[in-house]
Amino acid sequence: MSIEARDFYRNGPAHRPECASSFALIRRQFDFRSIEIGRWVTSAERDRASGLFHDALCDLMLILQGPETLISLRGSIALQYGCGGRPGVAAHYDPSQRSFALAKNAGPGSIAHEWFHAFDHYIAQKCFQGAPAHMFASTAWLAEATPVPHSLNQRLMRCFKAVLLQPEGDQPSTLFKHSVRIDKQLGQLYYSKPEELCARAFEAFIQDAAITNHFLVKGTKASPEADKGLYPQGEQRVRINAAFGEYFGRLGNALST
């Protein structure tokens, strides 16, 4: 089903009561490095998607309590819609290009996940000394890279600990164990990668917010992946949400002052 024919549940404030959206408007407001639309995206699909994207990005900004520059990571990332992805993949973040791509009809609901990949990649060199250009901060933390001393960095590392380790800090978390089990069943290394664990945990944090937007995120509570334990549950989810809330609240305040 094409995107202009689909409904995506949303419960949040009106962001543009007086005007329609466009990808040009999105780029100007958030200062993305670039926005590219695939050649097979129809004008109706483009117009519908721009409104959905705009609401999703504004909702994300409100949930994270930060300014537009946080969403575009200071204008460093690019968006691609209906192009630039991988065959059979709904959404994909490319560290080498610092861009994330959403498939035309399969990408909705993946924005929060891919945005966190972009953030995790962007923040690595600001959190850890000598982090390679391709590395994610979550991976660097688990590899015990040398941190850059800063109170915000310390709070982000608490987020990684809440996702990846038990509260005592010496054993893998329940989420980590479930993810390893599923990877072993499938003969792969994907779900248990630190960057994937943290992106899924971030999705859960966003879906648990007061604003609901299924174009931004969905499936962390009721989906085949959730049923397999691939999203945080119970007490661990509460701890993760608290850690992310504390970190992004402080970060948003720092960026807004």
DSSP code string of 157-172: HHHHHHHHB-TTSSSB
Q: What is the mean pLDDT of residues 206-235?
A: 96
Query: Is the per-residue pLDDT at 36 higher than 70?
Result: yes
Question: Which has the minimum average pLDDT: 57-61, 94-98, 99-103, 251-255?
Answer: 99-103
Helix, strand and coil content of the chain, in percent to the nearest 5, comes to 50, 10, 40
Beta-ladder partners of 100? 79, 93
Q: Based on C-alpha coordinates, what's the Rg of the chain?
A: 18
Query: Is the per-residue pLDDT at 2 higher than 60?
Result: no
How many CB atoms within 10 Å of residue 166? 15
Q: What is the mean pLDDT of residues 216-232?
A: 95
The mean of the pLDDT values for the chain is 92
Could you tell me the CA-to-CA distances from 36 to 26, 27, 33, 81, 221 in Å, in that order? Answer: 12, 10, 10, 6, 32
Q: What pTM did the predictor assign?
A: 0.94
C-alpha 173/C-alpha 194 separation (Å) is 12
Contact in structure between 209 and 257 (CB atoms under 8 Å): no
pLDDT band at 150 (very low <50, low <70, confident <90, very high): very high
